[in-house]
Copies of this chain bind each other. A is one copy, B any other.
Amino acid sequence: MNLTSDQISILKLAFKPLELSVEKHPLFFEQWQEDSFERYEFITEAGKIERYFYIIESGVQIIYILDHSGNKRVLGFSFDGSYSGVYDSFLDQKPSSYFIESLTPSKVLKIDKSQYNSFFENYPEFEHWGRIIHAKLFVGRVEREIELITLTAKERFEVFSKRCPEPLKNIPQKYLASYLNMTPETYSRLRAEL
């Protein structure tokens, strides 16, 4: 598989600390496959095993679970060179309880588990990168937890509004509301307050 230079830039963006080059890491750039999804298409569903590790080329994807009442509870978004996929299921190859859905038409680069593993075997510097990235993911989740626990709905709304990334500005508000752990009604009322 030959990637275009645009796709190579996306991978470089996603793996920034690795200082990748096509010459030094040929395997890395050879094995990614392209794939694309339509609006509202599922990338994966609860009960299924995650086969791939994805990097988003374009579009917005959302990850959520269904709670006891069947409501979607949004845990995060992916876009612009960020990772997507159900991580625990991918790592352990066990059925997950997450859904990933493409909110806009999206293009991705993906690799499967054995390719993912072979990167780590072939490029030890990948392990270092993996450690650092996962440490940051962990710290980021703790920070989100603190915001959910200590801030009021209004405060969460305000903090989020200030740093809302561009690609999320055109998706339905109900998903942002869910991500902020509030109902669409509450989100709408906070919005009216400006």
Contact = CB atoms under 8 A, between A and B. Distances in A.
Contact of A134 (B131, B145, B181): B131
Interface in A96-155: 120, 124, 127-128, 130-131, 134-135, 137-139, 141-142, 144-146, 148-150
Nearest to A145: B145
Contact of A131 (B127, B142, B144): B127
Given A127-B124, A127-B127, A127-B131, A87 B138 contact: yes
B73 A150 contact: yes
Contacts of A138: 87, 134, 137-138, 141
Contacts of A127: 124, 127-128, 130-131
A45 B85 CA distance: 36
Interface residues of A, number: 28
A75 interface: yes
Contact of A142 (B128, B135, B139, B141): B141
B135 A91 contact: yes
A30 interface: no
A150 B74 CA distance: 11
A148 B141 CA distance: 13
A65 interface: yes
Contacts of A163: none
Contacts of A131: 120, 127, 130-131, 134
A148 B150 contact: no
A144 B146 contact: no
Contacts of A149: 67, 73, 148, 181
Contact of A145 (B87, B91, B120, B148): B148
Given A65-B146, A149-B181, 7 more contacts: A88-B139, A91-B135, A124-B124, A124-B127, A127-B130, A127-B131, A134-B138
